[in-house]
């Protein structure tokens, strides 16, 4: 079965550079979530999109932005990178419920490991 695809899997950047992470949800999943997992930490919710509109926002820095495109893939753009942005970034997707809106089960991609030097 198709899973969530994230690219790149590993990314190394210098401080103050920019990074773009991509997420391709499971086919026919129209909701995408982004999470950040720092070293030894639990994942923290950043932002979510449903039907290409932002649906919820968590602890996402103003330096970060994200969007969902017409094909439902999503990109997380990170600018002015800081050392503290080094983390594993997960994307997850969920399907649409029969009543509209999302179902509550999320399927995670393998993550993008970002290292900021």
Partner 1 sequence: AQSVTQLDSHVSVSEGTPVLLRCNYSSSYSPSLFWYVQHPNKGLQLLLKYTSAATLVKGINGFEAEFKKSETSFHLTKPSAHMSDAAEYFCVVSDLTSGTYKYIFGTGTRLKVLA
Provide the binding-site residues for partner 1, judged by CB under 8 A.
31, 33, 35, 42-45, 48, 50, 55-56, 58, 90, 92, 94, 100-111, 113
Nearer to partner 1, 18 or 103 (CB): 103
- β-strands 74-78, 64-68 pairing: antiparallel
The answer to whether residues 60 and 78 touch, using CB atoms and an 8 Å cutoff, is no
In the complex, the smallest distance separating the C-beta of residue 59 from partner 1, rounded to whole angstroms, is: 11
Q: How far is the CB of 45 from partner 1 (least distance, A)?
A: 5
Nearer to partner 1, 18 or 41 (CB): 41
Contact yes or no for 61/76 (Cβ under 8 A): no
Burial class (CB in 10 A: 0-12, 13-18, 19+), 34: buried
Q: Between 78 and 91, whose beta carbon lies closer to partner 1? A: 91
């Amino acid at each position: 079965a198709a899973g969530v695809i994230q690219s790149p899997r590993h990314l190394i950047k210098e401080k103050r550079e920019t990074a773009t992470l991509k997420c391709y949800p499971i086919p026919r999943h129209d909701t995408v979530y982004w999470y950040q997992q720092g070293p030894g930490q639990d994942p923290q919710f950043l932002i979510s999109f449903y039907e290409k509109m932002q649906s919820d926002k968590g602890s996402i820095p103003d330096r970060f932005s994200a969007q969902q495109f017409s094909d439902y893939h999503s990109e997380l753009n990170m600018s002015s990178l800081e050392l503290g942005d080094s983390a594993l970034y997960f994307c997850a997707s969920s399907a649409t419920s029969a009543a509209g809106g999302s179902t509550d089960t999320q399927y995670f991609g393998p993550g993008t490991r970002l290292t900021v030097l």
